[in-house]
Amino acid sequence: MSKIVFAEVRPWEQEYVKLHSGSWAGDIIFSESIVSKDNFSIPEDTVILSVFVNSIISREVIDRLPKLKLVVTRSTGYDHVDVKACQEKGISVSYVPSYGENTVAEFAFALILSLSRKIYQSFDQIRESGSFSVSSLQGFDLKGKTLGVVGTGRIGQHSIRMAKGFDMEVAAYDTHPNEELSKNLDFTYWPLEEVLKKSDIVTLHVPYLPETHHLMNERTLRLMKKGSILINTSRGGVVDTSALVEVLKDGHLGGAGLDVLEEEGVIKDELSFLKHGHPEEHNLKTILAGHILIDMPNVIITPHNAFNTQEALQRILNTTIENISGFNLGSPVNVIQPH
Catalytic residues: 235, 264, 304
Pick from 234, 152, 237: nearest CA to 187: 152
Contact indicator for 280, 264 with CB cutoff of 8 Å:
yes
Pick from 147, 145, 150, 123: nearest CA to 134: 123
* Cα–Cα distance, 39 to 23 (Å, whole number): 30
SS3 79: coil
* Cα–Cα distance, 51 to 95 (Å, whole number): 10
Sheet arrangement for strand 4-6: 28-30, 4-6, 48-51, 70-73, 92-94
Phi, psi of 148 (to 5 degrees): -90, 120
